[in-house]
C-alpha cells in the first residue's frame, strides 16, 4: 500500500485569504483584515452581512477563481514523490465538491481524493487518520492543535503563514513539527520515508 500524505487546500495550495479580503472589499466596500491565529476578524463585517459573505465565499465562482499559491506545484510534486498517495482534506462545504475537484484538476491533480469536514468541526486529524495518512500539512494553528491527538509524533505540519506568527509560544511545547516555510515542507516531503 502507498504511503499517504494529507494536504489542506485553502492556505496550502489555494490563496483563499487574498480572495476573501478582495471579495469583502468588492461587495461590502470594507477591508477585511487578514486572519490571525485566533481566526478571521468577523467583527469587521456588520452582523447582517455575515451570511451574505459566507454565501459568497462558498460559491462556485469564488472557489473556481482562487489563485494557486506560488508553492502549490512544488508541494504537490514533493507530496506525490516516492509513489505516495495524496489525499486532500478541506473545511470547505461538501456542496463545493465538484468545483473543488475541478480546481484541483486545473492544478494537475487528475483524480483527486477530497475529504470534507464541516466548517468549524475539528475533524481534519480524524479524517487524515481514517484515510491512512501519516502526515497532515495544514495552515491553521487551531486545526493543528485539534489534529495532534490523532496523528503520530511529528505527523502534523503547520505551514508558516502570516496568521500563525503570534502562535510560536503556543506550538513550541507540542509534539508536532514547528512552523515550516513552504520550502521546508517541500524538503521534508522529499526527504521523508513514510
At residue 120, the pLDDT reads 46
Mark whether 168 and 101 lie in a shared domain: yes
- Whether 89 and 173 map to the same domain: the answer is yes
pLDDT in tens, 155-185: 888 888 877 766 555 554 455 556 688 888 8
Give tens-digit pLDDT for 62-76. 888 899 999 999 999
Whether the per-residue pLDDT at 28 is higher than 80: the answer is no
**Residue showing cell 486529524:** 125
Q: What is the pTM of this model?
A: 0.85
Residue 90 grid cell: 478541506
Indicate if 149 and 161 belong to the same structural domain. yes
Q: In terms of domains, do 144 and 173 share one? A: yes
From CA 22, how far away is CA 30, in angstroms rounded? 9
Identify whether residues 25 and 110 lie together within a single domain.
Answer: no
Same domain, 94 and 151: yes
Assess whether 137 and 184 both reside in one domain: yes
- Domain shared by 28 and 99, yes or no: no
Residue 95: CATH number of its domain: 3.40.50.1000
Provide the number of structural domains found in the chain: 2
* Tens-digit pLDDT profile for residues 111-127: 889 998 865 455 788 88
* CB-CB neighbours of 24 under 10 Å: 21
Q: Which pLDDT score, from 0 to 100, does residue 9 have?
A: 94
Q: Scanning the structure block, which residue is given the C-alpha cell 520550502?
A: 183
Q: In terms of DSSP bridges, do strands 113-116 and 133-138 run parallel, antiparallel, or are they unpaired?
A: unpaired
Measured distance CA(78)–CA(147) in Å, rounded: 22
Q: Within this chain, do residues 37 and 10 fall inside the same structural domain, yes or no?
A: no
Residues 54, 91 within the same domain: no
Q: Which domain holds residue 137?
A: 4-15+66-191
Mean pLDDT, the chain, rounded, equals 80
Q: Select from 46, 64, 82 the last residue of a domain.
A: 64
Residues 23 and 115 in one domain: no
3-state secondary structure of 33: coil
Amino acid at each position: 500500500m502507498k504511503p499517504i500524505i494529507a494536504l489542506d487546500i485553502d492556505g496550502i495550495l489555494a490563496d483563499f485569504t487574498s480572495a476573501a479580503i478582495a471579495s469583502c472589499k468588492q461587495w461590502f466596500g470594507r477591508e477585511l483584515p487578514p486572519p490571525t491565529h485566533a481566526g478571521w476578524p468577523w467583527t469587521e463585517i456588520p452582523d447582517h452581512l455575515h451570511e451574505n459573505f459566507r454565501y459568497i465565499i462558498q460559491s462556485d465562482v469564488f472557489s473556481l477563481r482562487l489563485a494557486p499559491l506560488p508553492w502549490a506545484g512544488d508541494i504537490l510534486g514533493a507530496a506525490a514523490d516516492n509513489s505516495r498517495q495524496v489525499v486532500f482534506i478541506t473545511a470547505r462545504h461538501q456542496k463545493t465538491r465538484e468545483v473543488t475537484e475541478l480546481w484541483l484538476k486545473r492544478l494537475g491533480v487528475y483524480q483527486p481524493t477530497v475529504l470534507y469536514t464541516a466548517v468549524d468541526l475539528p475533524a481534519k486529524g480524524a479524517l487524515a487518520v481514517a484515510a491512512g495518512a501519516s502526515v497532515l500539512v495544514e495552515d491553521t494553528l487551531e486545526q493543528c492543535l485539534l489534529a495532534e491527538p490523532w496523528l503520530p509524533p511529528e505527523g502534523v505540519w503547520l505551514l508558516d503563514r502570516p496568521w500563525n506568527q503570534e502562535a510560536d509560544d503556543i506550538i513550541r511545547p507540542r509534539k508536532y513539527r514547528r512552523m515550516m516555510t513552504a520550502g521546508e515542507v517541500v524538503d521534508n516531503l522529499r526527504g521523508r520515508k513514510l
